[in-house]
């Protein structure tokens, strides 16, 4: 029995909810994977739904655009549910026309998902490069990226390093193998975590 409009809208709503849930889980796991390496407990930080959703979406884009295999995997993941819906909703349609419809809808969804990277993120990145190139007096065409260090005010004076995580009340800053947990309100250093590298045995290095 073909899907009617009400059933189609309900199915679309369920699919959107599932996608959002998957992105939130992806964002959460990426955060946890990052923070655990620096000895930051999950209970020390609080994430909003939008934080996890945006971090998950960025992670999804990075994964999707990382190579041809990733693009193929994501395209397949989009195509399969579209195929199931089209075959159910348009079962009386000729198989060739079903194929064309599946291809068009799948490609449309793929470009819809990745479009923000091309029409928003990438132009924003280029705009930043343009401003920085003028500030650093370098040729914008030769600029591949930026190396950044942040300065955080503490009770013992400024610390310059790389911010691992910044929240309204706490900042985690990495400097010379030490992760500083700094309270934003007064610059008090609450904790120092000394990092040591665990290297593979010489025989296992590839």
What is the mean predicted confidence (pLDDT) over 174-183? 95
Return the SS3 of 84: helix
Which phi and psi (to 5°) does residue 64 adopt?
-65, -40
Say which DSSP state 48 is in: -
pLDDT for 2: 60
What is the mean predicted confidence (pLDDT) over 154-160? 94
pLDDT for 155: 92
pLDDT for 106-117, tens place per residue?
A: 888 888 888 888
What is the mean predicted confidence (pLDDT) over 6-26? 83
**Cα 204 to Cα 206: distance, rounded to the nearest angstrom:** 6
Ordered by start, the domain boundaries in the chain are: 5-142, 150-204
pLDDT at 205 over 60: no
For the entire predicted model, the pTM comes to: 0.74
């Amino acid at each position: 029995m073909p899907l009617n409009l009400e059933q189609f809208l309900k199915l679309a709503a369920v699919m959107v909810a599932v996608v959002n849930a998957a992105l939130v889980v992806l964002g959460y796991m990426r955060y946890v994977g990052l923070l655990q390496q620096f000895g930051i407990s999950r209970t020390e930080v609080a994430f909003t739904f939008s934080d996890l959703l945006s971090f998950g979406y960025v992670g999804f884009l990075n994964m999707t655009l990382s190579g041809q295999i990733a693009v193929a995997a994501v395209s397949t993941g989009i195509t399969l549910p579209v195929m199931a819906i089209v075959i159910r909703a348009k079962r009386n349609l000729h198989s060739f026309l079903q194929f064309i419809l599946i291809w068009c809808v799948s490609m449309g969804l793929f470009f819809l998902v990745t479009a923000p990277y091309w029409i928003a993120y990438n132009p924003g990145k280029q705009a930043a490069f343009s401003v920085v190139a003028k500030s650093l007096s370098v040729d914008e065409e030769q600029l591949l990226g930026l190396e950044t260090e942040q300065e955080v005010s503490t009770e013992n004076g400024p610390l310059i390093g790389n911010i691992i995580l910044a929240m309204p009340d706490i900042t985690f800053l990495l400097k010379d193998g030490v992760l500083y947990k700094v309270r934003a309100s007064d610059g008090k250093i609450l904790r120092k975590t000394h990092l040591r590298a665990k290297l593979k045995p010489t025989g296992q290095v590839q």
